[in-house]
């Protein structure tokens, strides 16, 4: 976002700043993903990247859970097999890993990170 829009009233009403602890965790996650990609390169299965990514998270002293099932509620019914997260970091950040085959290129490793607010009930 251009710097001149960050401090506008419109922006301030719609968005809250990312908490500093999320920023620190996010930087460690991106560094872990980059390290895996740099060391392994393209061409492997997603599971291999996931195992190595989690190893890098451990080295950075981040807590994580792999392959977390999230129940989906629909019309009063609960489906436990509805959604599975690849890696859930520090009970706050979802890391969705993807090994893609772009046209006429090798495999690449991508991490999509979404920050969510979890309800601690």
Nearest to 118 by CA among 96, 94, 91: 91
DSSP H stretches of helix in the chain? 3-6, 9-14, 20-40, 46-59
For residue 51, pLDDT beyond 60: yes
This prediction has a pTM of 0.70
C-alpha 93/C-alpha 33 separation (Å) is 14
User: Which is more confident, 12 or 58?
Assistant: 58
**Which pLDDT belongs to residue 2?**
54
Between residues 18 and 120, the one the model is more confident about: 18
Residue 11's pLDDT band (boundaries 50, 70, 90)? low
Rounded to the nearest integer, the mean pLDDT of the chain is 78
Which pLDDT score, from 0 to 100, does residue 31 have?
Answer: 94
Tens digit of each residue's pLDDT (9 = 90 or more) over 94-108: 888 888 765 544 444
């Amino acid at each position: 976002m251009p710097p001149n829009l960050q401090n506008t009233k419109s922006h301030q009403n719609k968005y809250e700043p990312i908490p500093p602890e999320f920023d620190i965790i996010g930087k460690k996650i991106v560094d872990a993903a980059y390290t895996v990609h740099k060391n392994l390169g393209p061409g492997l299965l997603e599971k291999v990247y996931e195992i190595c990514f989690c190893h890098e998270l451990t080295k950075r002293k981040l807590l994580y859970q792999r392959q977390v099932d999230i129940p989906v509620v629909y019309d009063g019914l609960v489906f436990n097999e509805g959604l599975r997260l690849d890696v859930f970091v520090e009970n706050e950040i979802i890391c969705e890993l993807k090994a893609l085959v772009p046209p006429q290129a090798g495999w690449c490793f991508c991490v999509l990170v979404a920050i969510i607010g979890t309800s601690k009930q």
